[in-house]
Structure formats: structure tokens, C-alpha cells
Structure 1
């Protein structure tokens, strides 16, 4: 999530790349639009179903959409509508076609959120069809969570996920069956920077092979942490790169490369395991990816090398007025870009 997009001061305050870690990007990324949403649609996060369809969370209107890359011209149906005033954020699949998400009351476009209103929800698609909607139920309120953001599966068997708390700079574990929650990781690398606008720390989170990867928005970093089956640290965190300004959500491929969205930079980068940063698509002066927010790989044989990217679509006038806010889901075939 990168609500900094709505703050006009971003043109002055957002960090820029300062080190020599950036390497030249590819000449052709084959970036394609899967679906372009109308104005005032902020595609905050995604999860890819086993059948290749994409669940997208609309932060701006409190909705879940279902996008089919095989039928991009079809109008995506609304799977779930959350209470009026809800902003929908991270998403994770715990059992096949059973997804979990989190909400907070507020307005993302005005950067105004109500404290103590975070909640945790289940969206069950096991009986979903054209004639039957997904089943939605609230699991629990999360009043102690400041701003719930990225989410990742911890244990399918135990029914646990980890969520990033961007304003408090914490990692929480939530049990989807009982609704219980507790802090499992608290570290300076997670903390927002005092005086930054907005003051956001940890943002995206992903678990791969007992490593928790996480970004920090204010600290412009991507790091990894060895964890136990309970989500607690078993060793120190390692900063992979501290040169990813406005680092948002990301995906990790089978080679350990991190495909990371830099929201205010309008850029998708690839961070290698040794910390090299390569621009893959977009750029500060590009309109190819306006406000990239999240990234996820396909799950099937035909699309396992396809990286899907969601965007908020925000552009501004010279005075800071929002001109467009039409997010989209895009796709890149990474097969010819992957170099181990």
C-alpha cells in the first residue's frame, strides 16, 4: 500500500535512488494491460487463484473484484462489498479458494483513517459461481493494529497469517480460526521515520522457505528474516537493498529475485539476491505503470512466469489536484527477463 501517492508533497519528500546498485533495464518488457478499471478504483492488492483468476482488492470502494486474464474484456464481477467507508488492503489464501483480508475505515484519497477500526475478514469462494456469490464474514476486530497492510500465509495447517502494521512498525500473527492476534516481530527496520509524510514503515510481506521478506516504505529497503513456524525470528534480519525508494509490495521468484513495486516512482524493479536493483518497467517520467502497488506471479503452467502488477492509477495537476485515479492490473512475461 502506498497512500503517499495522495500527498502532493511527494514530489519534494519522496526519496530517490542514491547508490550505484541500479543496473540497466531490459529494452522490451512486453508490459500488457490485463484490465483497466474506471476512475476512482484503487487496485491495492492481489491474490491469484489456482485457476489463474485474480482477486483484486479495491482500497477506494471497499470491494473485491474477480479479474480473468483469459477474458480481459469481461467486466470483472464484484465478489464482496465491505461496509461503507471501508478501505480494503492485504489479501492471503489460507485454504484453496478461502481468502482473508483486512479493512480499516477511512478515505485513502484524503489520507484520513479512523484509529482503532481495523478488522479481519474471510472471503470463501468454494461455492462461488455466476449464480452464487462468495461468502464473506468478519473474523475479528483488530483495534490494536494501526494500519494493516501487507499479508502473507504463515501456516496452512494452523491457519495463521502475518500482517504488516505500517504505522506502528510491527509484524502481527493472526489465527484465522480463533481471531487471536499477537506481535511476533518488532525491530527498528520495521519502523516509520518520524516526520516523514506519510509515516509508514513495514509495507509488503512475503514468506518463502522460512524466510520472511519485508519492505519498509520510509526506509526504502527490502530485507529478509529467518523465522520459526510461529513467525518469530530465529536470527537477525538481513537488508538486501536499501535503495528501493517508496518500496511497496512485491513477489519473489524461484531464483530468489524480488520483483518490487516502487509506488511514487511509477516503477517496477527487480532486486537480485545480492542486492542489485534493475528497472524492469515504468519509471518516474513514464505512464506505463502509474502508482504500482502490488505484484504476484501466476500459478499455472502457462502463466507461472507471468508477473501481475496492480496500480492505483493516481496522477496529479501542478497544484496537487487528483487528475486520474483509474487503477489497473498489468502483466509482464518474465521468462526472458530471468537471469540467475
Structure 2
């Protein structure tokens, strides 16, 4: 309740105060402060999240095909199960195309066997435009399958390329193929758009996971290659075609899963197996560890990150985890999947 009141009280200030776009060099006190918004039972693997314009979080679970809604601005809030997707083992990427209209990836990635479930992937539409948390919910009218993609091997992340009033084009990373698909969410038509050696996994990889997290910033498409341990980008045109050579910005960074950019262009990266949160600054070729290095249980197996969108919450980075299921802490210990709120203000000064 207190958090909700504070957010409301700040609304006028947020509407009249311009966002700070730059930061000065200063001494950063690490680790950054964090709090647990909610912790799921063990074992649970949260794979991805999206933030609604009202600040609520959509949580995609990989260990079960469940989509949850959680309000991090309400103290002691519990997640609400929106939907359990049929005929699939789990959920992966999620993105917003229009206000409160989201697209979600599902597939049979098996945590028990490591089988990536080739041929089982699909894209779904989730329309929350008429839904508020706590009100009656009819998933049958709000959730629909866009398309099955039997040629896909391991769909992982998706982002908007083009938006229209009713649809648009999304880009989808395929970690096994080492490629990026394009999908018209209105027609269901899809094809491979980009494929580079920098998107593939190496022959000696422990897991068949090359390109993973995917983001578009300006004219540049960025991606993490988890098993090549790299962070890359390529310049694209309005159709998504590459118009530059691939640039490897960072090498030898252990298994970036997903990432998000802040307004200054810093990439906040989820380092899953090492249970750390890091930052890659523009023009720098290393990673600053800002959380988790002194205590791996603080952020056990981070899988995805997103900045808050509600008034007064835009410097909060929300982090979801798998509880260490991919790489147990100390080799044997896992915990319930976490939803964390990380205060990033101290990073900017």
C-alpha cells in the first residue's frame, strides 16, 4: 500500500520533470541495493518478463507453461496466474507491440533432459487492453495463437521491428539455428531474416545456445551469444536487413542470457550461470559486476531484466531468475525463482 501511495504522489512531479539523460563519472558503491519483490517455490524457472505501462510485471515461466501478473508497487503482492498455455512445456520470450498487447513464445524446452524441443515452438498473442488486476478475466477472448513455427529449433527472445495499429513485424532469435526470424504477427508469415557466424554456438558448447537476448537500439540490432561469450551488434535498415559488418563489442563474458538498455545506452546484462548482474558501458569492452559477486543467493541464476515504467520507478531494474537451476550455487543448492527490484540510481550519480 505504501509503495502505491508514493507512486501516486509522485505522478505530478513525473509529468512535469524532464528525465535525466546523462550521468557524470563518480565512485559507484557496489553492490547496488536490491529487494525481493516475490520468490516462487523451488523449483521454478522464470525465463522472461515484460513491464506494462502501469508498472505491473508479466512473468513467463519456463518450468511450467504459466503466465503470471505481479504488481511490484503494491507491498507484499502475490502473483496472479493469468493463463496456463496448452500443449507446451514452457514459455520463453515476451514483447509488447501495442499498448498492453503482448506476444509470447512457447515451446518444449525440457529442463529435465536438456532437449531443446525442435519443431514445438509457437507464438501467442495476449491482449490485456481491457484487463486490470483483480477484475474478472476471460483468457479465451484475450489469448490466441498467432502461428506454429515447426522449422524453428529453439526460439528464445523476440522484439518489435515494426509496429502498426493492429500488428507489425517481430524479430525472434533462434538459439539453436544461430539466426533471427522475422514474423508478421497479423498474417502469421515468417522467414529467416539474419544469420551470422556470430549468432551460432561453438562446436564444443555445453548447451546448443548461440544467440540469446535480442534488443534494437536506434538502427543497431544487439544480441548476446551465450556460448560464444560475446556481445554483438549489426546495423540494420527499416526492413531489418544488415547494412554493416557485425561488431563484437565484448568478448569473454560468461554466458549473457538477456539484457536491457537504459537511457544512457548502458546494457544491463543477466549473467545466468555465475548468478551476477552486470553492466556494459558504451564503448567499453568489459563488464562491471553490480550485484551478486559477493553473494550468489542474492540473484540466483538471473535470466532477464527490464526497467520499470511507472512514474517514479524508471530507475528500478526488475530482474527475474531461475533460482540457480541452470547452475546450482556451490554445485548443489537451488532456491525458488526470484523477482528482484534493483535500485540503479547509484550507478548514475
TM-score relative to the length of structure 2 = 0.85
For residues 34 and 222 of structure 2, what CA distance do their matches in structure 1 show? 25
Label 1:269 to 1:98 Cα distance change in 2 as closer, same or farther (>3 A).
same
Alpha-carbon deviation of 1:72? 4.3
Runs of 4 or more, structure 1, over 3 Å off, are 315-321
For residues 88 and 330 of structure 2, what CA distance do their matches in structure 1 show? 27
For residues 66 and 126 of structure 2, what CA distance do their matches in structure 1 show? 11
Which residue of the other structure, out of 330, 333, 336, is the alignment partner of 1:326?
Answer: 336
Per the alignment, in what secondary structure is the counterpart of residue 254 of structure 1? coil
Q: Which runs of 5+ in 2 are unaligned?
A: 1-26
TM-score relative to the length of structure 1 = 0.87
**Equivalent residue for 2:79?**
76
**Would you say the 8 A contact 1:248–1:262 is kept in 2?**
yes
Per the alignment, in what secondary structure is the counterpart of residue 238 of structure 2? coil
Which residue of the other structure, out of 255, 278, 292, is the alignment partner of 1:246?
Answer: 255
Root mean square deviation, CA, Å: 2.0
Which residue of the other structure, out of 119, 124, 141, is the alignment partner of 2:122?
Answer: 119
Q: Deviations over 1:3-60 (max 9, x none)?
A: xxxxxxxxxxxxxxxxxxxxx9733411111111112221100100000001010011
Alpha-carbon deviation of 1:285? 5.7
For residues 244 and 305 of structure 2, what CA distance do their matches in structure 1 show? 27
More strand by share: 1
For residues 332 and 155 of structure 1, what CA distance do their matches in structure 2 show? 30
Matches within 5 A, 1:229-308: 229-275=238-284, 276-283=286-293, 286-308=296-318
Per the alignment, in what secondary structure is the counterpart of residue 302 of structure 1? coil
Q: Does 1:31 align with 2:34?
A: yes
Q: Which runs of 5+ in 1 are unaligned?
A: 1-23
**Would you say the 8 A contact 1:248–1:294 is kept in 2?**
yes
Between structure 1 and structure 2, the one with the greater Rg is: 2
Label 1:28 to 1:40 Cα distance change in 2 as closer, same or farther (>3 A).
closer
**Would you say the 8 A contact 2:109–2:115 is kept in 1?**
yes
**Equivalent residue for 2:218?**
209
**Would you say the 8 A contact 1:60–1:109 is kept in 2?**
no
**Would you say the 8 A contact 1:170–1:202 is kept in 2?**
yes
For residues 317 and 154 of structure 1, what CA distance do their matches in structure 2 show? 36
For residues 92 and 34 of structure 1, what CA distance do their matches in structure 2 show? 21
Alpha-carbon deviation of 1:235? 1.1
Aligned pairs, how many?
315
Per the alignment, in what secondary structure is the counterpart of residue 198 of structure 2? helix
Per the alignment, in what secondary structure is the counterpart of residue 336 of structure 1? helix
For residues 34 and 102 of structure 1, what CA distance do their matches in structure 2 show? 25
Q: Does 1:90 align with 2:97?
A: no
Q: Deviations over 1:124-167 (max 9, x none)?
A: 11122421244111111011111000111111126111111001
Label 1:170 to 1:317 Cα distance change in 2 as closer, same or farther (>3 A).
closer
